[in-house]
């Protein structure tokens, strides 16, 4: 393996002003070797046939580039590998080797989120496009805020248990008698009903959310998460008009449904597909169990609604189909995605108008000052 690498350009830090002469000297002859008709492109089918015939293509091409070439054959509609495309793959490879720790993190994120037949392309595109401004820390920041607020109320009430404290007098919690304070439809995500509730929410949103951010960028994940949170409160207000609402489960279930759709659609291509499904089922069952316990066993004022879980999951699926990156874009996927997003927009508008105009459906408003 060491002998084969002697033909490759020397490892070095990569800057924006790449030495094109050096690239030409090392890589153009190798590309021309497989460009048999000298038209500036190599048929991907031809490269695949070389691999199947047993010839050692790895003597000329790095492993990462070969992996991406094979993936590219299923994604690039013209079925040809141009020299510019080849250089972009090499560029990303050198960038990754200049930042090995960062490359390992990106590869882990791709392994967790992307099907096997798209991982090399995802890693290359992310390394090539990533500029660290801003870094993928949306869910990390949200989680730190949720932990800080939970600790604050633990200290305030002098309580820490599996199902408490539940700060029903908080200015953040969704209170059906204070619906006129519109921020509560969003800020309820910062309030959690006990240690079990916040633990499972944080665990799953970090486990699934951070890799999603690495692959899809922070703002796409933010749209899915916030869309699920708001859909959760609006859905709960329709199905459970007298119930308090606390927790980030709407956003968490939005992440689950966005991720679960990818796992189901690409089940055979996903690494550890059964483990992923089992983990999601265990979390979903545990979190719904906590919500059901709070809803039917706890004191009436501290009951939380599980309708937010269902509404958040629907929102994550509908938003994620349009918002999240799709490397293999198909016409039916575009039609389905925009159809689901249109349904989401209609449902959200209906829920908002219902909350505004159908006031008799809800308990009388409470205008008393908060303590």
Which residues are annotated as catalytic?
249, 309
List the structure tokens of 223. Answer: 């749209």
- Residue 45: which of 80, 89, 2 has the closest Cα? 80
- Residue 204: which of 127, 258, 264, 272 has the closest Cα? 258
What's the gap between Cα 264 and its chain centre? 15
What's the count of helices (H) and strands (E) in the chain, helices before strands?
14, 2
How far is Cα 292 from Cα 133, in angstroms, rounded to an integer?
41
What's the gap between Cα 60 and its chain centre? 36
List the structure tokens of 303. Answer: 């009951």
How far is Cα 33 from Cα 53, in angstroms, rounded to an integer?
17
Contact 64, 93 (CB under 8 A): yes
Residue with tokens 């492993």: 63
How far is Cα 255 from Cα 215, in angstroms, rounded to an integer?
13
What does the angle CA 184 – CA 188 – CA 189 come to, to the nearest 5 degrees? 135
List the structure tokens of 7. Answer: 């033909």
200 Cβ contact list (under 8 Å, min separation 6): 283, 286, 287, 290
Contact 244, 172 (CB under 8 A): no
Residue with tokens 């009436």: 300
DSSP letter at 305 equals -
Distance set, CA 220 to CA 30, 103, 134, 306 (Å): 39, 21, 13, 25
How far is Cα 228 from Cα 324, in angstroms, rounded to an integer?
14
Q: What is the dihedral angle through the alpha carbons of 44, 49, 54, 59, rounded to the nearest 10 degrees?
A: -20
């Amino acid at each position: 393996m060491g002998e084969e690498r002697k033909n490759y350009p020397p490892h070095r830090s990569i800057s924006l002003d790449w030495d094109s002469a050096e690239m030409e000297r090392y890589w153009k002859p190798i590309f021309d070797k497989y460009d048999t008709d000298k038209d500036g492109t190599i048929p991907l089918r031809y490269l695949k046939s070389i691999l199947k015939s047993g010839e050692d293509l790895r003597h000329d091409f790095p492993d990462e580039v070969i992996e991406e070439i094979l993936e590219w054959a299923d994604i690039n509609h013209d079925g040809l590998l141009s020299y510019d495309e080849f250089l972009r793959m090499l560029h990303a490879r050198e960038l990754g080797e200049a930042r090995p720790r960062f490359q390992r993190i990106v590869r882990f994120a791709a392994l967790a989120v992307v099907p096997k037949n798209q991982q090399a392309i995802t890693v290359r595109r992310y390394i090539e496009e990533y500029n660290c401004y801003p870094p993928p820390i949306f869910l990390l920041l949200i989680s730190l805020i949720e932990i800080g607020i939970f600790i604050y109320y633990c200290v305030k009430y002098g309580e820490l248990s599996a199902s408490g404290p539940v700060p029903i007098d908080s200015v953040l919690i969704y209170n059906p008698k204070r619906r006129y304070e519109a921020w509560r439809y969003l800020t309820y995500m910062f309030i959690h009903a006990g240690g079990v509730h916040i633990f499972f929410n944080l665990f799953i949103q970090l486990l699934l959310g951070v890799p999603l951010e690495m692959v899809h960028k922070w703002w796409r994940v933010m749209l899915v998460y916030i869309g699920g949170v708001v859909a959760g409160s609006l859905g709960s207000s329709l199905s459970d008009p007298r119930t308090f609402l606390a927790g980030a489960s709407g956003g968490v279930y939005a992440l689950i449904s966005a991720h679960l759709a990818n796992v189901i659609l690409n089940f055979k291509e996903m690494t550890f597909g059964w483990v992923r499904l089992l983990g999601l089922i265990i979390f979903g069952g545990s979190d719904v169990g906590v919500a059901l316990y709070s809803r039917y066993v706890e004191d009436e004022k501290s009951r939380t609604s599980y309708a937010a879980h269902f509404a958040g999951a629907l929102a994550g699926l509908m938003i994620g189909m349009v918002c999240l990156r799709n490397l293999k874009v198909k016409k039916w996927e575009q039609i389905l995605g925009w159809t689901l997003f249109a349904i989401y927009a209609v449902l959200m508008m209906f829920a908002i108008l219902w909350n505004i105009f159908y006031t008799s459906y809800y308990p009388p408003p409470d205008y008393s000052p908060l303590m």
